Structures are given as C-alpha cells and as structure tokens.
Amino acid sequence: MLESNTVELRGVSKSFSTNGKVERVLNHINGTIENGSIVTILGPSGSGKSTILSMCNLLLTPDEGDVFIYGKEVRNWNIPELRQTVGIAFQAAPMIPGTVLDNLLLPASIHQMNIDHPEQFLEKVSLPESLLHKNVQDLSGGQRQRLGLARTLVNRPSILLLDEITSALDPSSVREIEHLILNLHKEENTTILWVTHDLDQARRVGTHSWLIVNGELVEHSPTESFFTTPKDDRTKQFLAKGMTDLP
C-alpha cells in the first residue's frame, strides 16, 4: 500500500429518494487525500459530508463516479478487508448490550481475529482497564465516545473516518479526544478524514481542509491557507458566518 493518494474520489455523485422526491446530495466530487494527511471536511448541515465518509468504506455506493482506496475502487475490495483498512467512528457509536469487553471484541469476532490484550485499546483512548467488565449502559457519554473510538481501532485501520465524534462532548473532553487522535496519527501515520462542525477544531487538527456546499467541493487546500487565504467566495462567506447555511 504505497500509493501516495490514500483516498481518491473521481466524479462522485449520490442521490437519495425521500417521499418520492429525489435529492442529489453529492454532485461530481473530485478530490484526493494523500497518505498520512488529516483532512477536515466542513460544510453546512446536509451538504453531503457524512455521505463522503460512508462511501469510503462502502456503507454507501456512488450513483456515478468511483472511490479509490489505495488505488483500488471500493467496489472491487473484499468488504471485510476494506472495513479493516478503513475504520469509521460516529458521534453516537451504537453499542451492543453487555460489557465494555463485549463491545471491544465485536470487531475481532466479526473478522475472526484474536485479541490477547484488549486493555491496550482502552489505554489508547485513556480509559482504565478496570472498565473492561463494566456494563456499557453505566458509562458516561465521554466514556462511550472513547469506547467507540477504541473499538474502531481494534482493526488497526490505516485510514480513519471520523464523523462529528466530539460534537456532543464538553470542551475538556473535546481536547482530550483531539489529543488522542493526533497522537495516533503521529505514531501510526494514520490517514484521517474528519467531518466537523467546529471551525476552530478544523483549524487545530487539519493538515488539509475541504468545504462542501450543496453537494459540491468548492474549496480544498492546506488548512492554514484554507482559513487565511480562501479562494472561493463561498468559502469566504462560510468562514465569515461560521456554520450558517449558505444561499
């Protein structure tokens, strides 16, 4: 896996049908993500950010165009292998009934892997080993968020998709999660696609940033340039107004 472009989208479009009405969510997206980069994906609600993530590990498929992971189109991957390579963590990760250990071992059981020391994955997200046999229903929101991330890391993905994973946390917890992920990136050179509504967070963590508006990729550049010298007028307006919807 020596491709310089870890993820590539070529002419990707996606539509959904709701109550008989077809809405195009993504419109001919073209973009590349280099190995080891952290790309923060910004845009108004409903602009298609999460849809991009979902197509990178085949939770969704494009209606038009192609998504390549390490030079191989996603539909040509073996799905279990793809999802081991490309991990995804959500804001509210669904938990199965049972203990922390039960949830932590779920990916291992799906992929028929042996995990000799599951506590190491708790350590990666600053959770104590003593939680292993605790019921997940008794965890705090922040602990559940960390567990969701730890469970994603069990597969040791080289690409990590993060969908608003800190939006429900207090500022202190947000910074802790950011620190954990940046350490992971530093240690493993993990390529990260990070959807966020927090402009300050995007600027803190990103090496590159994308802006999606009405299903179109209107700006993509190194993060500092994105915030200091945006080229597209829609980006300038977006940054000036924050996360308000653009016309």
For the stretch 69-122, pLDDT in tens is 999 999 999 998 999 899 999 877 788 999 999 998 887 777 667 777 888 888
Other CB atoms closer than 10 Å to residue 238's CB: what's the count? 23
Q: Please report whether residue 99 resides in a domain.
A: yes
CA angle 101, 105, 107 (to 5 degrees): 150
Give the range among 10-19, 170-179, 221-230 with minimum mean pLDDT. Answer: 170-179
pLDDT in tens, 41-61: 999 988 999 999 999 999 999
Q: What's the pLDDT at 105?
A: 87
Q: Please report whether residue 160 resides in a domain.
A: yes
Q: Please report whether residue 125 resides in a domain.
A: yes
Q: Where are the alpha helices (DSSP H) in 189-222?
A: 199-205
pLDDT at 19 over 80: yes
- Give how many domains the chain has, as a whole number: 1
Q: Which residue has the higher pLDDT, 3 or 85?
A: 85
Q: Please report whether residue 17 resides in a domain.
A: yes
pLDDT in tens, 156-192: 899 999 999 888 778 888 888 899 899 889 988 999 9
Domain encompassing residue 225? 5-241
Q: What's the pLDDT at 121?
A: 87
Q: Please report whether residue 246 resides in a domain.
A: no
Q: What's the pLDDT at 2?
A: 44
Q: Please report whether residue 247 resides in a domain.
A: no
| CATH, residue 215 | 3.40.50.300
Is beta strand 159-163 parallel, antiparallel or unpaired with respect to 5-18?
unpaired
For the segment 211-238, the average pLDDT, to the nearest whole number, is 95
Q: Please report whether residue 204 resides in a domain.
A: yes
